[in-house]
Amino acid sequence: MRLFFKVLILQMKILIQYRTSNMLSLVGEPISLLIIAAFFSRIYAYNDADVLLGYSLSQMIWYFAGLTLIWYWVWNDTDSRISSKIISGDLVVDLLKPVSLFQFELAHAVGIKIQSFFLEFLPSVFIFSLIIFPDFLTPESVLKFLTVSVLAFLLYFLIGYLNGLAAFYIKSNYSLQSIKFAIISLMAGAYIPLEFFPEWFTNITRFLPFEYIFYWPVQILLNREQIRDNVIFFTIFRTQLGWVIGLYILTRIFWRRAIQKFCAIGG
């Protein structure tokens, strides 16, 4: 654990050098949210409705703002990093380090998130609130959101790490990265709320971990009435935790098999 934190601090020092590129999103994301706000304002006005699919106008707009905030929490490039190191042969150096590849990649991902929290997440919350104030928020809902967002990060990381291990077999996993992104975004409600999909589709997503990365954390952020019950919150939390444990076990199993296939082809 001590070595893990040393790696984490080192990764943060490296990542902070790229803070300018990260902060560019503070310009683009508010513009996107303004477009979304104008779009849904017209839809609500046309239907003369205060609520659509259970969402008030502010909640609907903040659904998409919440997706942006979740992306700040969960995004990492673990799978592409592992693939690149296998192709270049640099993975040999990582395997000689006193920390495992899993710990090293996790430290890198955590370092990204700590930087992102201060440079992207908090400023975006402030800017988004100026566009449309989140009058539905409470201190309790914010705390719950932050709690499940941590587990959402772990879920996304573990899925990415498993995808990275596939590179031990196919070397370049670029196509798998695109498929992973599309599947997660679609089945997690990261494009549009799952309420827009037919019931048969949402019945499938319930048995997969993806909606616990985006959809449910955003629901908690929106403080929707059906989510306020603590029993429901702890059910979501336990389900997330169960998926984290299950996926971690899979990483251990696949690592033992994948490392036997490792062949440095770069140099």
Q: What is the pLDDT of residues 47-64, one digit of tens each?
A: 999 999 989 999 999 999
Q: What is the pLDDT of residues 133-181, one digit of tens each?
A: 998 889 999 999 999 999 999 999 999 999 999 988 888 888 889 999 9
Average pLDDT on 227-239 reads 93
Does residue 58 contact residue 135 with C-beta atoms inside 8 Å? yes
Q: For residues 75 and 116, what is the distance between their CA atoms, to the nearest angstrom?
A: 10
pLDDT bin (cut points 50, 70, 90) of residue 267 is very low
Find tokens 């707009």 and name the residue. 61
Q: Is the pLDDT of residue 254 over 60?
A: yes
Domain range annotation of the chain: 2-261
Q: For residues 159 and 78, what is the distance between their CA atoms, to the nearest angstrom?
A: 9
- Tokens encoding 205: 């997503």
